[in-house]
A and B are shown apart, each in its own frame.
Chain A
């Protein structure tokens, strides 16, 4: 990801957090990598959250195909105290909003819709930049066996 888009993404999810009165907001790649987060995130294992969310979206996507739908773009899980709202943004990323009784499903849904538009634009820009080759920095010119050994020390 690039600095400009990175900033825009954190601004967007920060705004969503406030406007939706949510506890925390996460943006996750469909492959299970965490992209960004905002709010009370310290007591949740975000790596696990990202992987399980992506698995969840993948599984329901499989279900959708079975019944002839393209995908289910919104999932909602209701808990005793906390609820999770999961939605797909820009076809490529997943937006996760965790909220409690200080907010409501209606409010979250409304704010997520707005945030989705901004995120979709952002993701498109990133993908464009990546394919136009701006990402082609000489990142890993020469990786030696020692480099790899060092990773495990």
Chain B
């Protein structure tokens, strides 16, 4: 889990964006990448197919400021959403410190949201983690589209644990940083408990 390097005074945390295919995970990272100052973001890596579907992962390292004299680094990953990439999804969850579950607000994607959420739970269990231990937040993405499911309904289905949740339109950037800050807050709080 979080790698605290006492001699370099660094905290390194891994945050994974999880969710069904095409819900907007890569778009979230792209927006963060675009908006961060160049000196605090590293190179974004996308291991994608020729049709821009995430094949293995997207990776965006962020070097943020200091907390109590410790430099903080957050490594953001996305998983490939397609059902058949389950093996790679599992691998990326290894060592995860916090999760953003990105849900697609389109009516026709509600089943896919639930399926992906269950898949996330069982993949965590395979690593010996569980959702009540790993900090996570939920993002209801694509709020801009016309046929979106009311937030209250999405909450009822997806946010049974009552974790922090955020509405977003990742293409415009609305809610993207709120979500990221939300998960970082939880991760650091967890570190405090565990450290």
Give me the interface of A with B, judged by CB distance under 8 Å.
Answer: 1-3, 6-7, 29-33, 35, 45, 47-48, 51-52, 55, 58-59, 61-62, 135-137, 139-141, 143, 145, 147-153
B139 to chain A minimum Cβ distance, whole angstroms, is 17
What are 22 A-B residue pairs whose CB atoms fall within 8 Å in the complex?
A: A6-B8, A30-B94, A31-B14, A31-B95, A32-B59, A45-B42, A47-B75, A48-B61, A51-B75, A58-B91, A59-B56, A59-B88, A59-B91, A61-B91, A135-B195, A139-B68, A139-B192, A140-B67, A140-B68, A140-B191, A143-B192, A148-B184
Q: Is the CB of B65 within 8 A of A139?
A: no
Give me the interface of B with A, judged by CB distance under 8 Å.
Answer: 1, 3-8, 12, 14, 42-43, 45, 47, 56-57, 59, 61, 64-65, 67-68, 70, 72-73, 75, 87-88, 90-92, 94-95, 177, 181, 184-185, 188-189, 191-192, 195
Q: Is the CB of B64 within 8 A of A152?
A: yes
Residues of the A chain whose Cβ atoms lie less than 8 Å from the Cβ of B181: 148-149, 152
Residues of the A chain whose Cβ atoms lie less than 8 Å from the Cβ of B92: 55, 58
Residues of the B chain whose Cβ atoms lie less than 8 Å from the Cβ of A140: 67-68, 70, 188, 191-192, 195
Residue in contact with B188 in the complex, picked from A2, A55, A148, CB distance below 8 Å:
A148
Residues of the B chain whose Cβ atoms lie less than 8 Å from the Cβ of A145: 185
Q: Is the CB of A48 within 8 A of B59?
A: yes
With A140-B192, A143-B67 as contacts: A52 and B95 at CB distance below 8 Å: no
How many A-B pairs fall under 8 Å by CB? 111
Q: Is the CB of A52 within 8 A of B195?
A: no
With A140-B67, A148-B181 as contacts: A55 and B57 at CB distance below 8 Å: yes
A148-B57 Cα distance, complex, nearest whole Å: 26
Q: Is the CB of A151 within 8 A of B64?
A: yes
B38 to chain A minimum Cβ distance, whole angstroms, is 13
Residues of the B chain whose Cβ atoms lie less than 8 Å from the Cβ of A30: 94-95
B133 to chain A minimum Cβ distance, whole angstroms, is 16
